[in-house]
Amino acid sequence: MTGGELRSRVIRSPTGAAVRPTPGRVKEALFSILGDEIVDARVLDLFAGTGAIGFESLSRGAATVTFVELHAPTAQAIRDAARDFDVEKRATIVCAPAETAVKRLSGRFDFVYADPPYALPPPLLTFGNLLERGAIDASTIVVYERRENAPAFERLGFSTVREQRYGEVMLQFLRVGDAR
């Protein structure tokens, strides 16, 4: 982690897992942009991989994080890390496809981070399901990470309020409804 109470802790993932962690400089920039908005936030880390974004959120004061990861050994590694970092009471790990997992989640989220495998299309169904069940609204910060030349997220009911490029990584900041 780059900041907060878990600074300098190392997250491990299963050997051989097809995980592409968000680069450190991208994480630092993201949390610099978010600032204090992460404090006391309910966070949803979709396509969590190692869980780096969720753990960084917890480290910087998020109230809770729900990690959604399809790969069972990687989800177990997130569970183990939450225990090792002593944040398991603030972490929920869901091992399921993102588009179905979001149908089972309860409550509203303040911050949603989606980093699907770059080979997948934008998570239209996943974000649509979150919107339909009221898990996100106009005050939720939604960030979609994609490869620079990949299609942007475009769906009725969402607007792009900011895009940042870090090498080959694009962060697309979305809001429900019109741009502020």
Residue 180's pLDDT is what? 44
Residue 23's pLDDT is what? 74
Regions of the chain with pLDDT less than 50: 1, 179-180
What would the pLDDT profile of 107-135 be if each residue is shown by its tens digit?
999 999 999 988 889 999 999 999 999 99
Q: Reduce the secondary structure of the chain to three states and give it as a string.
A: CCCCCCCCCCCCCCCCCCCCCCCHHHHHHHHHHHHHHHCCCEEEEECCCCCHHHHHHHHCCCCEEEEECCCHHHHHHHHHHHHHCCCHHHEEEECCCHHHHHHHCCCCCCEEEECCCCCCCCCHHHHHHHHHCCCCCCCCEEEEEEECCCCCCCCCCEEEEEEEEECCEEEEEEEECCCC
Does the domain at 25-176 match CATH 3.40.50.2300? Answer given as no
Residue 56's pLDDT is what? 94
Residue 13's pLDDT is what? 60
Residue 22's pLDDT is what? 75
Predicted model pTM: 0.90
Residue 5's pLDDT is what? 63
